[in-house]
């Protein structure tokens, strides 16, 4: 029986991934360079340390750049774009329905705690979660299963008692490595990547009511 939901944050609750990528793309374009999604893919759903955009730009240009200045500009533009974003379609409804059904709610994010908490506060969602685990809470972030295992432990649930909601290949891999049934809901950016290894695919959380999804999940195990 399903007793809990564990949600990813970036790209699942809030579309931060598109704005972050777009801000870097704009900087690359200023230099006459391209930042292909195939290069950026390693960053999605994982640690920012998995991809160095300034290093990639330097390799494309064949010279050094002012990393500090470019990073500051990128973060300013990123913040501007993210501030215009609200929770992705269906997120608030799923959270409300999970509470109504008595499910425990967890959040597993490879981002750092201040980032996640700040945006959850802005969206009015922080207090809805029974467990929040971020990069500082584990040794390895996604695609390692550590974040999901930590949330399961704090919620007091077995992997068979919860499902994960993800948007990226790295996140799916992490959830399944923890033994979780994983539902993928790609955002406009991750929709361009391969998420075939997920157990269920949804175009949006508005596509299927939570109770119907829980029924499908039980049948899929």
Alpha-carbon distance 83 to 9, whole Å? Answer: 15
| The pair of three-digit structure tokens given for residue 204, joined into one six-digit string | 């949006």
Q: In which order are the strands placed within the sheet that holds 4-7?
A: 131-133, 104-108, 4-7, 162-166, 181-184, 200-201
Q: Of 83, 108, 128, which closes a domain?
A: 83
pLDDT at residue 101, rounded to an integer: 97
Return the residue matching tokens 């269920």: 200
- Do 170 and 194 sit in the same domain of this protein? yes
Q: Of 83, 104, 133, which closes a domain?
A: 83
* Cβ-contact 23, 78 below 8 angstroms: yes
- Do 168 and 194 sit in the same domain of this protein? yes
- Do 129 and 78 sit in the same domain of this protein? no
Tell me: the pLDDT tens digits for 117-156?
Answer: 999 999 999 999 999 999 999 999 999 999 999 999 999 9
- Do 119 and 197 sit in the same domain of this protein? yes
Domain count of the chain? Answer: 2
Residue 70 burial (CB count, 10 A): 18
Q: Is 49 among the residues known to form the active site?
A: no
pLDDT at residue 18, rounded to an integer: 87
Q: Of 31, 60, 83, which closes a domain?
A: 83
* Cβ-contact 21, 11 below 8 angstroms: no
pLDDT at residue 199, rounded to an integer: 95
- Do 35 and 123 sit in the same domain of this protein? no
Helices (H), strands (E): how many in the chain? Answer: 9, 6
Closest residue by Cα to residue 48 from 24, 77, 84, 32: 24
- Do 119 and 134 sit in the same domain of this protein? yes
pLDDT at residue 215, rounded to an integer: 87
pTM for this one? Answer: 0.85
- Do 94 and 74 sit in the same domain of this protein? no
pLDDT at residue 39, rounded to an integer: 87
| The pair of three-digit structure tokens given for residue 29, joined into one six-digit string | 């374009």
What range defines the domain where residue 47 resides? 17-83
- Do 76 and 153 sit in the same domain of this protein? no
Alpha-carbon distance 94 to 211, whole Å? Answer: 9
Tell me the H-state helices in 7-145.
Answer: 17-30, 37-40, 53-61, 67-83, 91-100, 113-123
pLDDT at residue 5, rounded to an integer: 98
pLDDT at residue 193, rounded to an integer: 84
- Do 29 and 64 sit in the same domain of this protein? yes
The catalytically annotated residue of 10, 97, 137, 199 is 10
pLDDT at residue 219, rounded to an integer: 58
* Spans in the chain with pLDDT lower than 50: none
- Do 105 and 191 sit in the same domain of this protein? yes
């Amino acid at each position: 029986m399903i007793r809990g939901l564990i949600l990813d944050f970036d790209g699942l609750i809030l579309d931060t991934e598109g704005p972050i990528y777009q801000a870097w793309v704009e900087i690359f374009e200023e230099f006459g360079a391209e930042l292909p999604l195939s290069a950026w893919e390693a960053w999605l759903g994982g640690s920012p340390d998995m991809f160095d955009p300034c290093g990639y730009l330097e390799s494309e240009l064949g010279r050094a750049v002012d990393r500090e200045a470019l990073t500051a500009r990128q973060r300013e533009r990123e913040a501007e774009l993210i501030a215009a974003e609200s929770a992705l379609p269906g997120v608030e409804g799923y959270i409300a329905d999970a509470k109504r059904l008595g499910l425990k709610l967890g959040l597993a994010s490879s981002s750092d705690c201040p980032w996640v908490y700040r945006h959850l506060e802005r969206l009015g969602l922080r207090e809805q979660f029974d467990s929040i685990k971020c990069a500082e809470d584990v040794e390895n972030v996604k695609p390692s299963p550590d974040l999901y295992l930590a949330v399961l432990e704090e919620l007091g649930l077995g992997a068979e008692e919860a499902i994960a909601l993800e948007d990226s290949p790295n996140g799916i891999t992490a959830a399944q490595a923890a033994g979780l049934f994983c539902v993928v809901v790609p955002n406009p950016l991750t929709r361009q990547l391969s998420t075939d290894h997920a157990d269920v695919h949804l175009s949006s959380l508005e596509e299927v009511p939570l109770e119907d999804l829980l029924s499908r999940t039980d049948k899929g195990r």
